[in-house]
Amino acid sequence: MRGPGKPRAQNAHDHVQARDWRWQLSHRLRSARELGASLELSETERAGFEVKGLPPVAVTPYYLSLMDPVDPRCPIRLQALPHPQDVARGAGEREDPLGERERSPLPGLIHRYPDRVVLLVAADCPVMCRHCNRRRRDPRELLGASLGPGMEGAVSYLRGATGVREVILSGGDPLTLEDAALEEILGRLRTVPHLEVLRVHTRAPVTCPMRVTDDLTRVLAAAGPLYVITQFNHPKEVTPEAALACGRLADAGLPLANQSVLLRGVNSDGGLLADLSRALLGVRVRPYYLFQLDPVLGSERFRTPIEASMELVSGLRGRLSGLGIPTLALDAPGGFGKVAMARSAVVARTRTTVTVRTWQGDLVDYPDTGDPDLTCQAWP
């Protein structure tokens, strides 16, 4: 319940300008003074703004409107407002936790898996999330302008990398770019004959849903097959505005999937995760991954024990259809790729039987074969 003191942020919905995504970006709130006009900031939140070397703060008026004005434990506030620990180094934390620099054959291009690459096409985001794994935001690691030599170099690289089938646009948030720049980037990629699938990874439907205009939707749909990957972390983010943005994309034939990050105190609750999955399915977004938080500098306050993470996801089985259960995964530090994490359901095995534990805890025997001739072809 909202307290009597501070109203919902006034600029998010109250006038026509606020429905324009450029207005939202140009009116982002960045300081304790600006945010304190709508929120009762706690001492810890205020102290976060005073820390030297703090990662940048930026909050759209829309995202501000989702925050509880009096409760510092609000899951939206926790994701966007600074904390003194944001510059602390926890155990195993790194500036570049996924080893992206070592896997960048040229600026703005990350080639970690054989069949796909990531292009970093933007440095900016509508909201600067406190858990971001790319907080370093070094402009030297970006692709640069869509028509510049960075894009030409990326296209040339991709023409020679014939094993690459998929390109992921990331950043920053690609949807902070203008439609024309996105159209140019996507058009250049579509000149590479062996590229099959394009992906746009964006939090704009969460933090600035008015960015998803009819014009943008046409640009994305024209470059298909193209997938839009979002990051909703809490049911509170699945608003009517977000539903409208996702609906526009889905109506245009663009498949949507969600990659949540498991954040202690934000979404580290089984019932809440189930509510999030149901809400996402209701707006035609498939829960795809639930990521263990990457060990980026200053992220320890959000960390969830892996054992607890596996327990949360295994608890969803049977309570949600398989369509709503994301894959729990961690990104192996140093750039070694994603690892799916799950409790094994197999509790015993013989030559002819496997005993499995069901979602309700029952033990059931499943017939297995021990015939050595009935094997599958492994990857070379």
Q: Catalytic: 365?
A: no
Burial class (CB in 10 A: 0-12, 13-18, 19+), 93: middle
* Residue in 134, 135, 199, 248 annotated catalytic: 134
Give, in order, the Cα–Cα distances in Å from 32 to each of 10, 124, 301: 17, 20, 21
**Residue 57 in contact with residue 87, Cβ under 8 Å?**
no
* Residue in 28, 68, 130, 132 annotated catalytic: 132
* Residue in 86, 211, 294, 303 annotated catalytic: 294
Residue entry with tokens 């829309």: 62
* Residue in 28, 62, 74, 129 annotated catalytic: 129
Q: How far is it, in rounded angstroms, from Cα 123 to Cα 125?
A: 7
Neighbour tally for 367: CB within 10 Å:
7
Q: Catalytic: 74?
A: no
Q: Catalytic: 6?
A: no
Q: Catalytic: 125?
A: yes
| Among the listed residues 68, 58, 72, the one whose alpha carbon sits nearest the alpha carbon of residue 30 | 58
Q: Catalytic: 115?
A: no
* Residue in 19, 71, 103, 113 annotated catalytic: 113
Q: Catalytic: 264?
A: no
Q: Catalytic: 134?
A: yes
Residue entry with tokens 């805890």: 361
* Residue in 77, 116, 199, 303 annotated catalytic: 116
Tokens of 153: 């170099």
Strand-pair category, 116-120 with 109-113: antiparallel
* Residue in 101, 338, 349, 357 annotated catalytic: 338
Q: Catalytic: 338?
A: yes
* Residue in 74, 125, 208, 246 annotated catalytic: 125
Q: How far is it, in rounded angstroms, from Cα 134 to Cα 187?
A: 26
Taking CA 364 as the corner, what is the angle to CA 358 and CA 366, rounded to the nearest 5 degrees?
110
Q: Catalytic: 116?
A: yes
The DSSP bridge partners found for residue 355 are 348, 365
Q: How is residue 232 annotated by DSSP?
A: -
**Residue 17 in contact with residue 27, Cβ under 8 Å?**
no
* Residue in 77, 112, 135, 199 annotated catalytic: 112
Q: Omega before 225 cis (within 30°)?
A: yes
What strands lie across the sheet with 166-170, from one edge to the other?
109-113, 116-120, 166-170, 197-201, 226-230, 256-262, 286-292, 327-332, 337-340
Catalytic residues: 112-113, 116, 125, 129, 132, 134, 294, 331, 338
